[in-house]
């Protein structure tokens, strides 16, 4: 196949990864059938009321209406040359649950025995080979590295494309991604699967590493983790990205993947000590923030907190494993009276404030929990109460009582 040749492509699982993959590949001129078993979700994709908040996704879907079909019917995949599987792989008691992947492969095989099936879902090493043996299908591993909130750009301009599997099939899948002009590594399915876990675990470790340095900075006069990270980041071997200290990492990937990787390695008799430590450090982040509040106010009970941000990071409404949501719950559990402002998310049972300006006056303290750029606005709002910058996005000089994570010794 030559580069640029359009193909019939199927995508199973319309989460972030699946819907973005489908939209981007349709935009490249391929005929794409996008499938999910959730009929409500599919109805929303079909009506243009896209059920996923991801910048640019709705427009890309509408632009490619002609060659992007959403369905719940596996029969529609019978003519697909290549079928991407991007269904969830949640953890069950700390261990990866591959049930949805197996169900999807089984359903694909029942309508199309010849297609190359590409596993995009994050799966533990050995899964691709196992499925190939059990189902007798053409399997390729093509892990995903997109970030929510930046998903389209990450898919069109990824740092690298990893494709694992038998050369003939892997080459075909690699060809689909040639338009990205990114480096393509073709390897075994096991290596591809490992690259995904090792990458996510490394990034999670990088965040926990800087968060530990932040803890230290809080005790050293005249120190600030932001400057330390900046100074470290100039070293190309270290790099400046993912060295942002804060209230910890969340989302549907880092917490789940690190845990599943640790369990997987344990079963092989290898302890992943560094990743285990990164996980522990992350789990302690919420208590660090609570500790700052306790030192400042003596107790949490009755404290009126305005929390800015509830999603797991900026530019998304995703609450999965959100540290901001964990912080909210912990504060409420300890008796705080918490109001939340978030630019796009609202959750039933949580007291949300619609307009940031309106809720400032009722708070004893403001806590930044998510890195939304628009929170910068409060720099000009003449805030008098203490402000805890849990994501280090604000200029300390703009506040009377600024307390920053990793900054000595403001609390
Ligand atoms: C992550 C990876 O970055 C993607 O490469 C990968 O494809 C994806 O998981 C996945 O496995 O599907 P994502 O979870 O969308 O992407 O979000 P990130 O931007 O990586 O952020 C994860 C968490 O780390 C967020 O809670 C964020 O606030 C936190 N973070 C990130 C920090 O606390 N500090 C940083 O310097 C960077």
Pocket of ligand 1 contains residue 145 by CB under 6 Å: yes
Q: Give the number of the atom of ligand 1 that is nearest the alpha carbon of residue 147.
A: 15
Look at ligand 1, atom 7, and give the residue with the nearest C-alpha.
145
Pocket of ligand 1 contains residue 261 by CB under 6 Å: no
> Strand order in 184-187's β-sheet?
68-71, 31-35, 8-12, 82-85, 116-119, 138-141, 161-165, 184-187
In this predicted structure, the answer to whether residue 174 has a pLDDT above a threshold of 70 is yes
In this predicted structure, the answer to whether residue 2 has a pLDDT above a threshold of 60 is no
Mean pLDDT of 135-162: 97
Helix axes 273-283, 254-267, angle to 10 degrees: 140
Could you tell me the sign of the dihedral formed by the alpha carbons of 115, 119, 125, 127, in that order? Answer: negative
Mean pLDDT of 325-345: 96
Tell me the CA–centroid distance for residue 147 and ligand 1, in Å. Answer: 6
What's the pLDDT at 410?
Answer: 66
Mean pLDDT of 4-18: 92
What's the pLDDT at 229?
Answer: 98
The residue to mutate among 17, 123, 202, 203, having the most atoms of ligand 1 within 8 angstroms of its beta carbon, is 203
Give yes or no: 253 in active site: yes
What's the pLDDT at 4?
Answer: 57
Pocket of ligand 1 contains residue 68 by CB under 6 Å: no
Pocket of ligand 1 contains residue 309 by CB under 6 Å: no
Instruction: With cut-offs at 50, 70 and 90, classify the pLDDT of residue 79.
Output: very high
Tell me the CA–centroid distance for residue 266 and ligand 1, in Å. Answer: 24
Pocket of ligand 1 contains residue 144 by CB under 6 Å: yes
What's the pLDDT at 357?
Answer: 85
Instruction: With cut-offs at 50, 70 and 90, classify the pLDDT of residue 346.
Output: confident
pLDDT in tens, 108-140: 999 999 999 999 999 999 999 999 999 999 999
In this predicted structure, the answer to whether residue 411 has a pLDDT above a threshold of 80 is no
The residue to mutate among 254, 369, 370, having the most atoms of ligand 1 within 8 angstroms of its beta carbon, is 254
Instruction: With cut-offs at 50, 70 and 90, classify the pLDDT of residue 1.
Output: very low
pTM: 0.96
Q: Which of 253, 353, 359, 408 is catalytic?
A: 253
The residue to mutate among 55, 195, 207, having the most atoms of ligand 1 within 8 angstroms of its beta carbon, is 207
């Amino acid at each position: 196949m030559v580069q640029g040749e359009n193909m019939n492509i199927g995508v199973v699982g319309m989460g972030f990864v699946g819907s973005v993959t489908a939209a981007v590949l349709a935009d490249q001129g391929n005929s794409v059938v996008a499938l999910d078993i959730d009929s409500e979700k599919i109805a929303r994709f079909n009506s243009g009321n896209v059920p996923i908040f991801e910048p640019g996704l709705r427009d890309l879907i509408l632009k490619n209406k002609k060659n992007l079909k959403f369905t719940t019917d596996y029969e529609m995949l019978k003519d697909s040359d290549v079928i991407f599987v991007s269904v969830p792989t949640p953890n069950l008691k700390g261990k990866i649950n591959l049930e949805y992947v197996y169900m999807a492969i089984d359903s694909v095989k029942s309508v199309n025995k010849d297609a190359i099936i590409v596993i995009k879902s994050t799966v533990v090493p050995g899964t691709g080979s196992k499925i190939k043996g059990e189902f007798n299908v053409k399997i390729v591993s093509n892990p995903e590295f997109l970030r929510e909130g930046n998903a389209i750009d990450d898919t069109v301009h990824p740092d690298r494309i990893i494709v694992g599997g038998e050369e003939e099939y892997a080459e075909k899948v690699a060809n689909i991604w040639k338009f990205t002009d990114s480096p393509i590594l073709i390897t075994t399915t096991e290596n591809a699967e490992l690259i995904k876990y090792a990458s996510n675990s490394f990034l999670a470790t990088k965040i926990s590493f800087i968060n530990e340095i932040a803890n230290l900075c809080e005790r050293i006069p005249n120190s600030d983790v932001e400057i330390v990270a900046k100074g470290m980041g100039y070293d190309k071997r270290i790099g400046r990205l993912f060295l942002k200290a804060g209230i910890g990492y969340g989302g549907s990937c880092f917490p789940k993947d690190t845990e599943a990787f640790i369990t997987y390695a344990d079963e092989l008799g290898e302890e992943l000590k560094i990743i285990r430590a990164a996980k522990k450090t992350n789990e302690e982040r919420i208590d660090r923030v609570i500790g700052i509040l306790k030192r400042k106010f003596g107790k949490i009970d009755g404290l009126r907190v305005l929390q800015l941000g509830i999603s797991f990071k900026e530019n998304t409404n995703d609450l999965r494993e959100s540290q901001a949501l964990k912080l909210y719950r912990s504060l409420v559990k300890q008796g705080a009276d918490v109001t939340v402002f978030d630019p796009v998310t609202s959750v039933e049972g949580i007291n949300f404030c619609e307009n940031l300006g309106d809720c400032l006056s009722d708070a004893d303290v403001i806590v930044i929990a998510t890195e939304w750029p628009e929170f910068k606005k409060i720099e000009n709002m003449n805030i008098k109460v203490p402000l805890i910058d849990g994501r280090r996005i604000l200029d300390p000089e703009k506040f009377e009582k600024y307390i920053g994570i990793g900054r000595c010794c403001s609390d």
